[in-house]
Amino acid sequence: MRAVRLLVWLAGSALCVGMARAVGPVDQPDLIKHRAIVYFATAFVGLTIGVLVWERRPDSRTGLLLTALPFVEVLSQARWIFWNHALPVTIGFASMSLYAPVFAHLILSYPTGRLTTRLDRVFVAVVYAYATTSALLFLLFFDTRAPHDRYEIECWDCALPLTHVAWRDVHRASHVLDLTLLVVAPAFIGLLIRKLLRATPGGRRIELPLSIAAFAAVAQLLAHFALNGSPDSPWTDTPWFWISIVVSLAVPLSLGVGLFFGRRARSAVADLVVELQRTPPGHVQEALARTLGDPSLELALWLPDQASYVDSRGAKVELPAAGPHRAVTVLGSSDSPVAALLHDPALLERPGLLEAAAAAARLALENERLQAELRAQLSELRASRARIVQAGDDERRRLERNLHDGAQQRLLSLGLALQLARAELGAEANGASSLLVEAEDELRAALDELRELARGIHPAILTDQGLGAAVRSLAERSSVPVRIVSLPGERLDESTEAASYFLVSESLANCAKYAHASTVRVSIARRNGNAVVDIDDNGVGGADATRGSGLRGLSDRVQALDGTFLLESPVGGGTHVHAEIPCAS
């Protein structure tokens, strides 16, 4: 393919040089000869840029179309430079009208080289049809020797096209065809604006320079038509000649600017390498977004353990299906991806850039991935801790219920039976009766112990009436006087209520056992989505959460719910328990 492009470039260059030189011997004023050199040099520049773009993006049709454009220009001039040779005249007429459709095709299909919408395809097809019709009219019926008032000078030794059939006056028909340009050109402008509006921001940035050049070209055509009644500007008209040269150069040059920006982006990759050294973990996405010029870029890191993508916070990410507004590029090999970039499809027009940036970011990405993995594991761990606490609470609740419904009920019935037995015996059986009284006392003690046990496992009042009532009931039973400062009036979620309750219950028990306190203050308040629990006594202090399993277990329970636990117990300064537990409801 490279050889084909080289051949095309050589052939095109030879054509430009040959045609420019051919103007020399022709009996023309020097002005025309000089302008011929400028004209063909312009075509040569267009040809060279076209082949370079073609070389860089061989799979896109843009390079091919850009290369075709100067060919069409140059060849169409053959009809007057070699006016007395039939073949060049034929080629000249054949290529004369092709400029417009190739131009429209190039602009509307940039940068992918594909016409993406149906309307674009129809439009380009119509312009090709127009050009073909126009060319056929001239190839079949035009005769340079016939008297024509506008198109060519009368020329008695001009060659006829090889395809000439008979003379017809094509002047009027071609005039009509010229007028259709007046319709086609605004339609083209409309399609171009529509294309720009539909483009993603990144795509628009790429398309804008060429679009401006295209607008200029169409404006020049329409202006010349309006002022002179013909779309083609002759070489003798100084301002129009130079304007047409500038416009002809603008199209390939604006495409070249895109290439230049591609280079600039590569140096941005070099900046990225430096920047990533200073990028803290979790910010590689921003660095990549800046380098690639796509603020919408998202980074999804592959976690092999979970066989899924996560973002930098460790949350799962589903890769979207590629569409007109979102593209996905997987970095690394397909069987062991490192990460995926979710980005503006316009970046696909610069695949080298994406790869270069990804290669530069590889180490940082690896690091980022480890961080994300850690975070994902951490959040999984946290969730599982919370689940364990929840499961424990559920189990305690079930146990309490079972004790209440089972053993406790049977013992209560037994107590009633003993009472009845005592009543049946009456006053006569004194010995047996007092034995029964003892049995009843024993039974009552057993029931009390069982009830305490059940309450310690999970108090029914907490399940049925919530934290406020449960803590009030704790306070009533406490041997140290309790002053309740505040309690939540509403229900909180089960885990928060259970953790808060056991925090108060354990603290009150410790206070009664060790603190020698005369009063203890309990406060539970909702603040910023947390249940804030404070238990302060005025005892001897010196409690240590790391010793003894009671407070230690509570600290673990609070942390499992993502809360914080703080114990302050200076010797002689009382004991202060402070905990904040997130509560959803």
Partner 1 sequence: MATRALIVDDHPSFRRFARKLLESAGCEVVGDAADGAAAIAAVRELGPDLVLLDVLLPDMTGFDVAEEIAAGGNRPLIVLTSSRTASDFGSLLRTDHAKTFISKRDLTLAALAALASEAA
Strand order in the sheet with 316-317: 316-317, 308-310, 298-303, 337-343, 327-332
CB-nearer residue toward partner 1: 180 or 478: 478
CB-nearer residue toward partner 1: 216 or 446: 446
From the list 219, 91, 89, 207, the residue with the least C-alpha distance to 155 is 89
Angstrom distance (rounded) from CA 579 to CA 238:
87
Angstrom distance (rounded) from CA 311 to CA 373:
10
The stretch near partner 1 (CB under 8 A) out of 121-129, 154-162, 442-450, 503-511 is 442-450
Minimum separation from the CB atom of position 414 to partner 1 (A): 9
The stretch near partner 1 (CB under 8 A) out of 81-89, 445-453, 502-510, 562-570 is 445-453
CB-nearer residue toward partner 1: 262 or 415: 415
CB-nearer residue toward partner 1: 259 or 512: 512
CB-nearer residue toward partner 1: 140 or 460: 460
Task: Give the total residue count for the chain.
Answer: 585
From the list 31, 37, 132, 140, the residue with the least C-alpha distance to 90 is 140
Minimum separation from the CB atom of position 505 to partner 1 (A): 13
CB-nearer residue toward partner 1: 269 or 403: 403
- Hey, which residues between 447 and 476 contact partner 1 (CB under 8 A)? 447-448, 451, 455, 459-461, 464-465, 469-470, 472-473, 476
Angstrom distance (rounded) from CA 423 to CA 418:
9
Angstrom distance (rounded) from CA 553 to CA 474:
20
Minimum separation from the CB atom of position 495 to partner 1 (A): 21
Minimum separation from the CB atom of position 400 to partner 1 (A): 10
CB-nearer residue toward partner 1: 451 or 526: 451
Minimum separation from the CB atom of position 467 to partner 1 (A): 11
CB-nearer residue toward partner 1: 410 or 516: 410
Minimum separation from the CB atom of position 476 to partner 1 (A): 6
Give the x/- contact pattern for partner 1 in 278-307, rule: CB under 8 A: ------------------------------
Kindly state the number of chain residues that form the binding site for partner 1, as judged by CB under 8 A: 28
CB-nearer residue toward partner 1: 256 or 459: 459
Minimum separation from the CB atom of position 522 to partner 1 (A): 15
For residue 566, the cross-strand partners are 578
- Other Cβ atoms closer than 10 A to 416: 10
CB-nearer residue toward partner 1: 136 or 411: 411
Minimum separation from the CB atom of position 479 to partner 1 (A): 14
Asked if residue 388 binds partner 1 (CB under 8 A), the reply is no
Please name the helix (run of DSSP H) or strand (run of DSSP E) that holds residue 520, with its range, or none. strand 520-527
Angstrom distance (rounded) from CA 173 to CA 182:
15
**Phi/psi class of residue 529: alpha, beta or left (left: φ > 0; alpha: ψ in -120 to 50)?**
left
CB-nearer residue toward partner 1: 219 or 414: 414
Helices (H) and strands (E) in the chain, counts: 19, 10
Minimum separation from the CB atom of position 541 to partner 1 (A): 30
Question: Is the N-terminal amide bond of 111 cis, ω within 30° of 0?
Answer: yes
The stretch near partner 1 (CB under 8 A) out of 281-289, 443-451, 512-520, 546-554 is 443-451
Minimum separation from the CB atom of position 408 to partner 1 (A): 5
Per the listing, tokens 């045609």 go with 19
Angstrom distance (rounded) from CA 21 to CA 235:
16
Minimum separation from the CB atom of position 483 to partner 1 (A): 18
For residue 327, the cross-strand partners are 343
- Hey, which residues between 183 and 222 contact partner 1 (CB under 8 A)? none
- Hey, which residues between 394 and 433 contact partner 1 (CB under 8 A)? 404, 408-410, 412-413, 415-417, 419-420, 423
The token pair at 274 is 């430096």
CA distances (Å), 567 to each of 8, 478, 559, in order? 84, 21, 13
Are 9 and 44 in contact by the 8 Å Cβ rule? The answer is no
Within 419-501, strands assigned E span 482-486
Residues 6+ apart with CB under 8 A from 351: none
Are 235 and 377 in contact by the 8 Å Cβ rule? The answer is no
Would you give the DSSP letter of residue 4?
H
Minimum separation from the CB atom of position 439 to partner 1 (A): 14
CB-nearer residue toward partner 1: 389 or 498: 498
Angstrom distance (rounded) from CA 173 to CA 49:
36
- Hey, which residues between 476 and 505 contact partner 1 (CB under 8 A)? 476-477
Residues 6+ apart with CB under 8 A from 575: 507, 510, 511, 515, 517, 535, 536, 537, 539, 541, 543, 567, 568, 569
Give the one residue of 444, 483, 513, 516 binding partner 1; rule: CB under 8 A.
444
Are 208 and 216 in contact by the 8 Å Cβ rule? The answer is no
- Where along the sequence are the contacts to partner 1 (CB under 8 A)? 404, 408-410, 412-413, 415-417, 419-420, 423, 444, 447-448, 451, 455, 459-461, 464-465, 469-470, 472-473, 476-477
